[in-house]
Structure 1
Amino acid sequence: MKNEIDILQVMRVFEKIRSQGEAKDDGHYLDGVTARSDFDGYTLYLSDAQSTLTVFFHNKYHFDYPSEQALEDFTKRLHAIDKNH
């Protein structure tokens, strides 16, 4: 799988999790995904149990995942949140 994402979709999902998700110590949680940001809001983190997507200033991003299947599961979660909320 190629590591390309729709950054606008990621931003939408981040905001949906922040506005509709459950507030926790480490961010907001919705449908298996946690959303949080750094202290100044320029770096965003979306993660599930296995994978993390970090979005940096100027829409640069980095995936951290243990396997292609974990990445695929993570991106499916993001798509589902975008579609269903």
Structure 2
Amino acid sequence: MKNELDSKYLLQVFDKIRKFGEKKGDEYHLNGIKAFTDLDGYTLFIEDAKVKLSFGFHSQYHFDYESRDDYESFEKKLKAIDKEY
């Protein structure tokens, strides 16, 4: 995930979290990452304790985080999920 978010990569990680994660209500939890969708399923949310990512229609996305370190830690978690599962 550089300046441009790779939508195929993100959807792949989201799918792995849903397949291998623990379901709690409408959310899936895996390796410190939580993934869920809005009611209509058009917007995906992937977050940990410090970073929130929303990914929606036409590949629009928004990150919410306070520090670069938080973002980099989040990115490492996503890469680990992608590699491990």
TM-score by length of 1: 0.92
Count residues in correspondence.
84
TM-score by length of 2: 0.92
Structure 1 residues 3 and 49 mapped into 2: Cα distance closer, same or farther (>3 Å)? Answer: farther
Q: Which runs of 5+ in 2 are unaligned?
A: none
**Contact 1:22–1:29 at 8 Å: present in 2 too?**
yes
**C-alpha distance in structure 2 between counterparts of 1:70 and 1:78, whole Å:** 13
Q: How does 1:6-85 map to 2 (within 5 A)?
A: 6-85=6-85
Q: Percent identity?
A: 49
Structure 1 residues 72 and 28 mapped into 2: Cα distance closer, same or farther (>3 Å)? Answer: same
Deviation per CA, 1:9-64: give whole Å up to 9, x if none: 11001011111100013500001100000011100000001001100101110000
Pick which of 53-62 and 23-32 moved more: 23-32
Q: Which runs of 5+ in 1 are unaligned?
A: none
SS of corresponding position for 2:9: helix
**Contact 1:3–1:63 at 8 Å: present in 2 too?**
no
Runs of 4+ in 1 over 3 A off after TM superposition: none
